[in-house]
Amino acid sequence: MGLSLGNNDRIIVSPSVAKANFLHLGKDLEAAVDGGADWLHFSVQDGRMVPKISFGAPLVAACRDSFPRTIFDVKLGCIEPEARVGDFIKAGADIISVHPEATLQLGAVINKIAESGVSPGVVLNPGTSVNMVEGVLDQCEIAVVMLVNPGYGGPKYMKQAVSKIKQLREVAPHLHISVDGGVSEKNAAELIAAGANVLVAGGGVFKATDKRAAISALKASATPFSLSIPR
């Protein structure tokens, strides 16, 4: 069973493990968690859905025992995620999010994740509309809004992301809304004001000498904006 995600009325920083120093992975992750990261973000890329290869379930499993109270936020950038979710459930994921374009049966994949006791989510690329996933949002606990095309980088689609965040917050106020793909102190306040409450930050945390200060600075972006979640 996954850990409870808690309420969506606080700002959560979820550092992206892919940006950590893999020669000193345990030390880097410990510094992030000790510095205020409640979640850790594992971006899994298969070389097909996303044109890079990152890591798999064994890395998640290797980290699980060392961080028993940390939410493991797994984003599957994989074709046919239904064939892979079982491995990440066993590895100790608390959240598993999938791309709607990656499967022919999005609802079935969401059900499979939820039935395991893990929190299901959907990933919206810059070209993915909220309407495309609206039918499964009631079953989801998180939506991940991408600022960039995963694996390709390029421009940040801030205008589109802000619009999607506002729409998601309106149609599914229960969701944790996460933003990934270049979140920084420069844009965090605008994303939070739109309704996001989870900030996925990679290099901004793991390349910082003082990870606690980097995480605190991102969380401080919520002020003077107050996170107002309609109930």
CATH number of the structural domain spanning residue 36? 3.20.20.70
Query: Is the pLDDT reported for residue 224 higher than 60?
Result: no
CA dihedral 105, 108, 114, 116 (to 10 degrees): -110
Q: Is residue 218 part of a domain?
A: yes
231 within some domain:
no
The whole-angstrom separation of Cα 171 and Cα 142 is: 13
% residues pLDDT > 70 (the chain): 96
Residue 4 lies in a domain: no
The count of domains in the chain is 1
Residue 124 lies in a domain: yes
Global pTM exceeds 0.75: yes
Structural contact between residues 198 and 40, judged by C-beta atoms closer than 8 angstroms? no
Give the type of residue at 109: V
Task: State pLDDT tens for residues 36-47.
Answer: 999 999 999 999
Residue 227 lies in a domain: no
179 and 145 in contact (C-beta within 8 Å)? yes
**Nearest residue to 5 via CA among 97, 71, 100:** 71
The one-letter amino acid code at 80 reads E
Cα-based torsion angle of the residue sequence 184, 140, 39, 189 in order, rounded to the nearest 10 degrees: 20
Report the alpha-carbon distance of residue 178 to residue 142 in Å, rounded.
7
43-88: pLDDT as tens digits: 999 999 998 899 999 999 999 999 999 999 999 999 999 999 999 9
Mind listing the pLDDT tens digit for each residue in 196-219? 999 999 888 999 999 999 999 999
Give 223's pLDDT tier (boundaries 50, 70, 90). Answer: low
Q: State which residues form the domain around 113.
A: 12-222
Instruction: State the average pLDDT for the chain.
Output: 93
Percentage of residues in the chain with pLDDT exceeding 90?
A: 83
> CA-to-CA distance for 63 and 90, rounded, in angstroms?
13
Residue 151's pLDDT band, with cuts at 50, 70 and 90, is confident
How would you list the strands of the sheet with 95-98, edge to edge? 12-13, 198-199, 176-180, 142-146, 119-124, 95-98, 71-77, 39-45
Inform me whether the pLDDT recorded for 3 exceeds 80: yes
Q: Is residue 35 part of a domain?
A: yes
